[in-house]
Structure 1
């Protein structure tokens, strides 16, 4: 290899490494959003929107294509929301903190907390308390007001855009 080839190879390696780290962080954030129940909440919100729209705009021959689109594109629209949320978490937490949060939500206690926190066993309650007493857990609690405001803005925009899309297709 000549010097130019070595420099090119080094540049390519650095670029791939940098991009891979960023992608991994983003992927971990998306996993966290799925694991902590947030994605489930947006799936529910989408379903509720469709129920509301069914009352306002029952399916007719004129809007059948719009209904077909809305029913077929739930995953796409929820995925867009998750993509919009990822930067909020990336801005407020480090990659290591996201990994720690993900690890907690993959435990039995974390899964039960998402499924139904009122049914946590005593051991699971202890595990939840230990997590929230950790540095990462404390940071989550500290960041709650900031996260709520930022997520609220993103969610409002997503909801508005989705509703406008639905209206334009179903009227």
Structure 2
């Protein structure tokens, strides 16, 4: 009986520790996706959808609740796609890889690249080249095709679900 109690405590500790690790890794990936501009792109896509929908389905008394939901749901919708993208990155990259990627995107070269690549200094261009010549950079390049496909699939599903939800709410 005592052994069963010890075994249960160990199982609980291991599974709790595993969930904590997953949570830390997902949080790290979420931070990376914010740093690399992905979150901003999906926020923009959400805004563009609302702009298009306003032209086709202006706010009326009949659809006011739908518009209220859509206007208040942006953060949740973007968080949902970030979770889906996080799963893609988690499948292909280690925590160490994500840490290196995040380190680069926190730097001036990446910030300038995201802002306006044509205005990068020579030093920033060298930093960018060094990043893509590093082990993690080579890994990113080697996985570019599969990442593009998996990210595309997640994005399409997100967009389709968002559009279908919007159409249901606004009709």
TM-score when normalising by structure 1: 0.92
Count of aligned pairs between the two proteins? 170
1:75 Cα shift? 0.4
Give 2:38's aligned residue.
38
Q: Deviations over 1:33-60 (max 9, x none)?
A: 1111111100000000001001100111
What residue ranges of structure 2 are gaps of 5+ in the alignment? Answer: none
Distance in 2 (CA, whole Å) between partners of 1:84 and 1:29 is 11
1:5 Cα shift? 5.6
Matches within 5 A, 1:1-171: 6-171=6-171
Secondary structure of residue in 2 paired with 1:111: helix
Q: Deviations over 1:138-159 (max 9, x none)?
A: 1111111101111111111110
Q: Deviations over 1:13-39 (max 9, x none)?
A: 322222221211111111111111111
What residue ranges of structure 1 are gaps of 5+ in the alignment? Answer: none
Distance in 2 (CA, whole Å) between partners of 1:150 and 1:42 is 16
1:117 Cα shift? 1.8
